[in-house]
């Protein structure tokens, strides 16, 4: 088993769920995060879920000295790199911020790892690296033509990782291309905490279900899909977290650079998601069809065969579970906030 693992972005949505899975499977971990989009209250939640305190370092991945010090003092053997910015729309408005955080951040981290001869690295990539589908489902051989600065930041880091893996045969690198992560840990103690107004579909549906928003805007119903609305491959965040543990095991016996799709292989439309959520929350989600979102892709979903074959991993939680856990978590979060408790 890999020794101690550093999780950058460890107090964020996917990092915190992965921290639970790794801790519960016996790994020693250290979280590293600048708390720009998360909070250290997550540390209490993680302690409650796992039954032990998780070491945490507050730091930025662009801070080389802090990184090197952390790697040395905690005797880190492997790194999972989640830290970064992730909003597509914001990346179009502030591309430099995205390139600085996501690309410069990754380079700074990789330099620090080199100083300590740490060879195992797992990178949070994204299905957005593929861009407009030339065929579906996306397999890992599909060309990568990311359409926005966020997607290009992921593509560039993947390429940097490919180059350094070619230059050093001791390196063990996995780029995990996530499809659409949703849901929350069953404890409801951790989950997605969107900054400001959520733009993504699942948190937006949950807000409408809570009565916090009047209606959902469905961005277009005239796509060439089963019911005209956009189709995506949603993956439960706990399945995603387990995919990271499986990748770590894979890298123990494999050097080189590897890309894996982490998705379910099934696409669901916006309307299918709305209806699945309505069943779990026992409510009706009012919606209005609006214009298509500029640059939105009609449909994409993964071919998850490579991960199944080489990682021995596939998704276990269905759409019902994804909606149920989102709903449970949303109720808890909103009812405990000041605004909702007054309702």
| Interface ranges with ligand UFG (CB under 6 A) | 86, 88, 126-128, 179-180, 199-201, 204, 216-219, 230, 232, 270, 293, 296
CA distance 57 to 72: 13
CA dist 21 and 16 (Å) reads 9
- How far is the C-alpha of 205 from the C-alpha of 342, rounded, in Å? 21
Choose the one of ligand UFG, ligand NAD, none that binds residue 9, judging by a C-beta under 5 to 8 angstroms depending on kind.
ligand NAD
Question: Using CB distances below 5 to 8 A depending on partner kind, what does residue 36 bind out of ligand NAD, ligand UFG, none?
Answer: ligand NAD
Q: Is 178 a catalytic residue?
A: no
105 forms part of the interface with ligand NAD (CB under 6 A): yes
Query: Which stretch in 83-91, 294-302, 321-329, 334-342 sits in contact with ligand NAD by CB under 6 A?
Result: 83-91
Of the candidates 98, 150, 223, 300, the residue annotated as catalytic is 150
- Minimum distance from residue 87 beta carbon to ligand UFG (Å): 7
- Quick check: 207 binds ligand NAD (CB under 6 A)? no
Taking CB atoms, the residue at the shortest distance from ligand NAD is 12
Q: Tell the smallest beta-carbon distance from residue 329 to ligand NAD (Å).
A: 14
DSSP assignment of 143-202: -----SHHHHHHHHHHHHHHHHHHH-TT-EEEEEEE-EEE---TTSSS----SSS--SHH
Say whether residue 269 binds ligand NAD (CB under 6 A): no
What distance in Å separates the CA atoms of residue 264 and residue 100, rounded to the nearest whole number?
A: 31
b/e map 94-112, b = 16+ CB within 10 Å: eeeebbebbbebbbbbbeb
Residue 26 is classified by DSSP as: T
Can you tell me the distance from the alpha carbon of 201 to that of 267, in angstroms, rounded to the nearest whole number? 14
Contact between 270 and ligand NAD by CB under 6 A: the answer reads no
Q: Which residues bind ligand NAD (CB under 6 A)?
A: 8-9, 11-15, 33-38, 60-62, 82-84, 86, 101, 105, 124, 126, 178, 181
Give the residue numbers annotated as catalytic, written as ranges.
150
């Amino acid at each position: 088993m890999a020794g101690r693992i550093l999780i950058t972005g460890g107090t964020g949505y996917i990092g915190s769920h992965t921290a639970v899975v790794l801790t519960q499977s016996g790994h020693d971990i250290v979280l590293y995060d600048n708390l720009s989009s998360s909070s250290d209250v997550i540390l209490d939640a993680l302690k409650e879920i796992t039954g032990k305190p998780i070491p945490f370092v507050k730091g930025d991945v662009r801070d080389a000295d802090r990184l090197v010090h952390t790697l040395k003092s905690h005797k880190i053997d492997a790194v999972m790199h989640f830290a970064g910015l992730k909003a597509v729309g914001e990346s179009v408005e502030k591309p430099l911020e995205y390139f600085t955080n996501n690309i410069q951040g990754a380079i700074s981290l990789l330099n620090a790892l080199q100083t300590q001869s740490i060879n195992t690295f797992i990178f949070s990539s994204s299905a957005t690296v593929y861009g407009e589908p030339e065929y579906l489902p996306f397999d890992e051989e599909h060309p990568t033509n990311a359409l926005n600065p966020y997607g290009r930041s992921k593509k560039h880091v993947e390429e940097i990782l490919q180059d350094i893996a070619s230059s050093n045969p001791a390196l063990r690198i996995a780029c995990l291309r996530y499809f659409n992560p949703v849901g929350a840990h069953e404890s409801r103690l951790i989950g997605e905490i969107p900054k400001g107004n959520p733009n993504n579909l699942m948190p937006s549906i949950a807000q409408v279900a809570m009565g916090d928003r009047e209606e959902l805007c469905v961005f277009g119903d005239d796509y060439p899909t089963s019911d005209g609305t956009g189709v995506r491959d949603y993956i439960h965040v706990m399945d995603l977290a387990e995919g990271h543990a499986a990748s770590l095991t894979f890298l123990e016996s494999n050097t080189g650079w590897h890309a894996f799709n982490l998705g379910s292989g099934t696409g669901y439309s916006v309307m299918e998601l709305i209806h699945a959520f309505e069943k779990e929350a026992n409510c009706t989600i009012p919606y209005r069809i609006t214009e298509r979102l500029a640059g939105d892709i009609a449909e994409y979903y993964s071919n998850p065969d490579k991960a199944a074959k080489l990682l021995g991993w596939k998704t276990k939680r269905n759409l019902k579970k994804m909606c149920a856990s989102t709903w449970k978590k949303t109720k808890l979060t909103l009812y405990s906030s000041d605004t909702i408790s007054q309702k």
